[in-house]
Amino acid sequence: MPADVILLVLLGALLHASWNAIVKAGSDKQLGAALISLGCGVTALPFLFFVPLPAPEAWPFVVASAFFQFTYFQLVAAGYRAGDIGLVYPLMRGVAPLLVAITSSVVIGEHLSPGAMLGVGTICAGILTMAFESRKGGKRAILLALTNAVVIASYTFLDGMGARKAGNAISYSLWMALLPPVLLFGWAFFSRGQQAVVAYVRKEWPRGLFGGAGSLASYGLALWAMTKAPVASVAALRETSILFALVISVMILKEKASPWRYLAGAIIALGGLIMKLS
């Protein structure tokens, strides 16, 4: 994988860890996730005037991806209610790129080199090691995390193919950001009521706008990278966001980290090095 692609994917991973930290720190996971999605859409709007429309064959991917991402955010909230984040997040983010790597030859006809496959597997092993740090949460939390891993893998394929068909990865990313907040807030108004949703938005909108901008930039960089390198490799490298989350939790949030977390960080870093050398 070219060095410039790796660096930009790592930047996206840092942004991904940052906006996830915003959601995790919030008092309401469901509305927090919806607000991040809204911030993403609002951030995208001004830039739509400066990019071409995606090619017509990309629009079905935009619509399908929106429904998968709506499901993703709902499962994130449900998973965090059922179990500890230290268990749920590594499972869903670690299994997803592994699923992409295993099935990419069948779904999109991409075949990874042995070195790239080793790098993907190493990164996934490092991410899953994080799950040993926290055992809080039973079968329901694990089931939700694994279900969400399938959802993540699905929209990764959809968006990887959609960005290529669009002819412009940035344009695809911007237009793709508009539909998920409509679905998420439609559900929030239905399930939580107008008063609760409006009150939350008025109070937390700066966090949503900042986090949404980071989310848009993070995924936009990943989609651009998927037009330059195999989808499975990019998907795995992007999950180094957990490594950045480790640094944020220890250096900024002053949280204590167990030996499992440090071991996982070392394994993830090794996987990134293997992918660079392969």
pTM: 0.75
The pLDDT score that the predictor gives to residue 145 is: 84
pLDDT at residue 71 in the model: 92
Residue 213: which H helix or E strand, with range? helix 194-226
Confidence of residue 55 (pLDDT cuts 50, 70, 90): very high
Tell me: pLDDT of 137 over 60. no
Q: How far is CA 151 from the centre of its chain?
A: 11
Give the domain range for residue 37. 3-277
> Which residues are CB-contacts of 150 (< 8 A; sequence separation ≥ 6)?
96, 99
Instruction: Kindly report the average pLDDT of the chain as a whole number.
Output: 79
Mean pLDDT of 249-255: 65
What is the number of domains present in the chain? 1
SS3 percent helix, strand, coil of the chain, rounded to 5, is: 85, 0, 15
Q: Residue range 175-185: average pLDDT?
A: 91
Report the candidate in 153, 159, 209, 156 with the shortest Cα–Cα distance to residue 181.
Answer: 209
Question: Which residues 6+ apart lie within 8 Å of 227 measured at CB?
Answer: 163, 164, 169
